[in-house]
Structure 1
């Protein structure tokens, strides 16, 4: 073999070995690298989830967490489109059992996920269906009458003395009598344009018979109207003393303008408004935000529950472990806890959480109530798909506009609920 031919052979052999070495190196560096997609339906906390993704990637260099956010009423349809297209996310935020049921064959059973042992018991049924835990509660939400402490103080009203419906009504009338002096546009800033708010308001009167069993609520063929008279009393109070016209009041304006600027004394909302208020003015919630319960039966208590649950899809087996690890980290890591509590202002749905870590009085109160043995969970997330937009929301709006009577409101809403339940899951 001549020298020229030998040199060519050696060069070829060197190239082959070099390519093999590079391929092996690339395989070693990327074979365990994954991108997991987290589908979020709460736009107001998108920056928080993005920060959590950044922190996780910092300590898990082979994992990239992609946050996809679609909300404001479009989340459910966007998520369904991703499943239909074959591009299902790895971790999904789901709104109640109707949505969990829709994807139950495409979600992992999370019974053995260690974090399940730490979740508040009253919240677990909201993620469980067909004998399997398919979702983990996102947080504890408290819902009641958010009131502006500064307005109450100026009006000479002590919220601690409001202990039943009669004293609540008296406080409303006192506020109205000082409406001009207090600079109020109305006592209430009920956002009548928002059917979702109407539904969560109505749940204060429709939830008691289910005793925190959200699966039972989801399977119920009828609504329980036992407290219809008390519900009508509250609605009539709102009709009389709300900012007019009530059907023009929208969610963002009710929180960011009317409530924040003291133009109304109360709005029917939950602790999810805290980040918005504190972004407008640091420390506003700690200083000026209080919450009164609805007095439905006897002594009132703020209802607490979780509107959202996190599930893991079974569409990508090679990434299931990564998704589980990230979910565990969300609930267990000191770094994630700091973002979730301080930035996103979630009240953690886990038992034995240190109250001192919660940054405002209302969050502490909601945690105490939500983890107590007498906690009461609202059921509005278990209503049939479309019920709030097609039935109870429009019907309540018709009543606000004096187009139907209260009896007609009840009859129409009940009939539509039954019809929707018949054609959907839950039976």
Structure 2
């Protein structure tokens, strides 16, 4: 009886013991899962989605308690998709925002980034683009230059030396010199202006509106007036574009202007910045170093003109999920301060970093090095077109400039409409 009893007890113990271990492992697994944090990162630049995914993998490999999900929506649909996220109660933890109007829309959701170690690395000239209600809530994604991108090979074949272009008159002479050789050079036009794209029209306008606000982004954002201080220069440049660009001008789209017209040497210039670098070197490795140069718009025309340098996009952290806030800040800190993240940013994204005291020799092409030197200098000038009222570029400025290009509206009529609609949009959006 004792044997049977002991045997019975052993049998029961043998049955219970595995259950004990299973229960224990399950409990530990639940605890481990409860400590894991999933960050949601909303990205509005589709062209660098792959690189952000790589950065996320690199980070989570070193921080296994963190998972990063990246949602990408851009090319005109990003703003609406981001609004839908907030409206559905699925606010991301990290969001990419374009300009102070968009930052202002989410200001109640954004936390201050003033105390981050990443913040201390940012170029001072770029900080104002991430300020809302005197709080720094956004850090610039990169440093961009705005001006004329020119094809060095076309310039050389036309006998034009970019270093000899010092003012607007020199620029016009160069344009005309290239134009008379169009057939010999096999050009479709001097310019490959993508008139179908209202964003490009807006970025060109920044050449003339930025200096009127002393390149102060907060000042521009608060103003209810569209500045016409350099309106005559703006008029002259748009006329030059209309007369010497590939026709019909409104049929030219962004991708073909870069990947076909510019890359294949069918045009001499396009009004774009260093964001075209990844596309060009993606088509042909080394093309940028060999063939891409930039010259400024000549607005003041007094020898002080230089490429505008700033950032179109800023990263912010939301307060909607307090338990994930620290992890979101830690990831941003890592992206801005670690050497391994920086290597991806400069060599794969081909960004010029928005950080100060950067070793410029690490940049892979001479144009990027020049842009960093200009953008990090005390004379850096930021573009303000991202501070226009929401919808102004796509619904007002772009469409009316397009009408001007096809002689459907006079410049005086255009000025009146733009002045009125700019004020109306600003007043509505400021709640005044």
How far the C-alpha of 1:52 sits from its partner, in A, is 0.9
Q: Which residue of 2 aligns with 1:257?
A: 260
1:222-258: CA deviation from partner (whole Å, max 9, x where unpaired):
0110111111111111111100000001000100000
Q: How does 1:380-399 map to 2 (within 5 A)?
A: 380-399=385-404
Q: Which residue of 2 aligns with 1:340?
A: 345
When the two chains are superposed, the root-mean-square deviation of aligned CA atoms in Å is 1.6
Secondary structure in 2 matching 1:39: strand
Q: Which residue of 1 aligns with 2:198?
A: 195
- d(CA) in 2 for partners of 1:121 and 1:223? 26
Determine whether 1:70 maps to 2:73. yes
Secondary structure in 2 matching 1:31: helix
The partner residue of 2:379 within 364, 374, 380 is: 374
- d(CA) in 1 for partners of 2:354 and 2:417? 36
How far the C-alpha of 1:11 sits from its partner, in A, is 6.1
Secondary structure in 1 matching 2:147: strand
Q: Alignment length, in residue pairs?
A: 427
- d(CA) in 2 for partners of 1:425 and 1:46? 33
- d(CA) in 1 for partners of 2:232 and 2:380? 23
How far the C-alpha of 1:213 sits from its partner, in A, is 2.2
Determine whether 1:331 maps to 2:336. yes
How far the C-alpha of 1:408 sits from its partner, in A, is 0.9
- d(CA) in 2 for partners of 1:16 and 1:66? 35
Q: How does 1:52-91 map to 2 (within 5 A)?
A: 52-91=55-94
Contact 1:101 1:425 survives alignment (8 Å) = no
1:148-193: CA deviation from partner (whole Å, max 9, x where unpaired):
0000000011100000000000000000010001100000001111
The partner residue of 1:318 within 320, 323, 345 is: 323
- TM-score (normalizing by structure 2): 0.96
Q: Which residue of 1 aligns with 2:241?
A: 238
- d(CA) in 2 for partners of 1:262 and 1:58? 44
Kindly report structure 1 stretches of 4+ aligned residues shifted beyond 6 Å.
Answer: none
How far the C-alpha of 1:27 sits from its partner, in A, is 3.4
Contact 1:41 1:75 survives alignment (8 Å) = yes
- d(CA) in 2 for partners of 1:93 and 1:112? 19
1:357-411: CA deviation from partner (whole Å, max 9, x where unpaired):
0111111111111111111101011111100111000110010010111111111
How far the C-alpha of 1:113 sits from its partner, in A, is 1.0
Which ranges in structure 2 are unaligned for 5 or more consecutive residues? Answer: none
Contact 2:99 2:313 survives alignment (8 Å) = yes
Please identify, of 215-224 and 273-282, the stretch whose mean Cα deviation from structure 2 is larger: 215-224
Contact 2:212 2:230 survives alignment (8 Å) = no
Q: Which residue of 1 aligns with 2:32?
A: 29
Q: Which residue of 2 aligns with 1:97?
A: 100
Q: Which residue of 2 aligns with 1:222?
A: 225
Secondary structure in 2 matching 1:66: strand
The partner residue of 2:169 within 140, 145, 166 is: 166
Contact 2:112 2:137 survives alignment (8 Å) = yes
Change in Cα spacing, 1:375 to 1:178, as seen in structure 2 (3 Å) is: same
